Amino acid sequence: MMRSLWSLVLLACLLVTGQGEYLSRCEVAQQLQQLGMDGYAGYSLANWVCTAFHESSFNTQAMHYDSDGSIDFGIFQINSRYWCQYGNEKSSNACGIQCSELLTNNLAVDAACAKIVVSNSWNGMGAW
């Protein structure tokens, strides 16, 4: 019985860690640097990297279901209610993208949308 329980626990751990694509801190920093995030809207590259880590632990396929029915997507956890379109959900879609575009290892779409978020939010990076 105990052996079966440990086997089940091990399998559950493998399934949880197998989800998503995790980038390293250096990979995230390099991509964001190349995408012009360092200094964008007055925020350093370190600010952007820390935000990505805090929001998703650098998991490019992270999704979080919010209590209001919206979903946060990608490395910056960009919300479907305001910034991207998810299915038939009502959205402002200010970034003009499908939310699924935020779930890749190429951070170009994430960075472009994050620039829109920080520029169009009344409190800048405080939007996160």
Q: Which residues are catalytic?
A: 55, 72
pLDDT class for 102, splitting at 50, 70, 90?
very high
pLDDT of 18 above 60: no
Question: For residues 128 and 83, what is the distance between their CA atoms, to the nearest angstrom?
Answer: 13
DSSP structure class, residue 100: G
Residue ranges of E strands in 7-114: 63-65, 71-73, 78-79
Write down the pLDDT at residue 21. Answer: 87
Mean pLDDT, range 61-66, rounded to an integer = 97
Convert the pLDDT of each residue in 21-33 to its tens digit.
899 999 999 999 9
pLDDT of 7 above 80: no
Mean pLDDT, range 6-17, rounded to an integer = 39
Mean pLDDT of the chain, nearest integer: 88
Question: For residues 121 and 21, what is the distance between their CA atoms, to the nearest angstrom?
Answer: 28
Mean pLDDT, range 23-47, rounded to an integer = 97
Write down the pLDDT at residue 20. Answer: 57
- Of residues 99 and 121, the one with the higher pLDDT is 99
Q: Which of 56-65, 91-100, 115-124 has the lowest mean pLDDT?
A: 115-124
Q: For the domain made up of 22-127, give the CATH fold.
A: Lysozyme (1.10.530)
